[in-house]
A and B are shown apart, each in its own frame.
Chain A
Amino acid sequence: GEDVEQSLFLSVREGDSSVINCTYTDSSSTYLYWYKQEPGAGLQLLTYIFSNMDMKQDQRLTVLLNKKDKHLSLRIADTQTGDSAIYFCAESITGDDKIIFGKGTRLHILP
């Protein structure tokens, strides 16, 4: 069945780059997403990548997609304290209206 896996915690020093990794099992994904959840709030779409792309860059964010290994990563350059949040990897499945979420990675910023 469909499954999205990601590590639960990541600690990074302020100013360094953060890399959050995700693996998925369904090869018929249409879109892959990164959502951000700040404390006490709902999720907000951070960025997404279409399944026929390898890379997408948006300011400090870089998304890399390796379709062969079914691996998705999110790199945040120059990590700031405001980046402290939970990051969810998610995929949409072709022909299915549901979006499958990973369990979330909690990013902790060290001073």
Chain B
Amino acid sequence: EADIYQTPRYLVIGTGKKITLECSQTMGHDKMYWYQQDPGMELHLIHYSYGVNSTEKGDLSSESTVSRIRTEHFPLTLESARPSHTSQYLCASSESSPTGPNTGELFFGEGSRLTVL
């Protein structure tokens, strides 16, 4: 079972509020990712990190920001939430690149479902 945790699981907030979605993993993985999953099921990579103090934007532009001060922690922040931010946010981690004996398996959290009114 994956040791990666997301909080909150569900969040309903009003427009303009600042929110932080938490993601923690206890596997010591260097690589961590945030995906946004729309109602049509498609996954969009919005942020990733290859280690402490490393963050990169993903394929889908997002108004959210991330930080990676500790290996195990990769929070995502929205400074001013809007209804267009309503979505499921999935955090994932992996041990290494998919080369050699490593398959590059991604371990996902249970997700944070955000609704902005």
- Majority SS of interface residues in chain B? loop
Task: Please name all residues of chain B whose beta carbon is closer than 8 Å to the beta carbon of A41 when the two chains form the complex.
Answer: 110-111
| B104 and A99 form a contact (CB under 8 A) | yes
| B106 and A103 form a contact (CB under 8 A) | no
- A-B interface pairs (CB < 8 A), number: 57
| B105 and A86 form a contact (CB under 8 A) | no
| B42 and A103 form a contact (CB under 8 A) | yes
Give me the interface of A with B, judged by CB distance under 8 Å: 8, 30-31, 33, 35, 40-45, 48, 86, 88, 92, 94, 97-99, 101, 103-104, 106
For B45, B92, B97, which residue has the most chain A Cβ atoms within 10 angstroms?
B97
Give me the interface of B with A, judged by CB distance under 8 Å: 2, 6, 31, 40-43, 45, 48, 50, 90, 92, 97-99, 103-106, 108-111
Of A33, A42, A103, A104, which contacts B108 at CB under 8 A? A42
Task: Please name all residues of chain B whose beta carbon is closer than 8 Å to the beta carbon of A92 when the two chains form the complex.
Answer: 97-98, 104
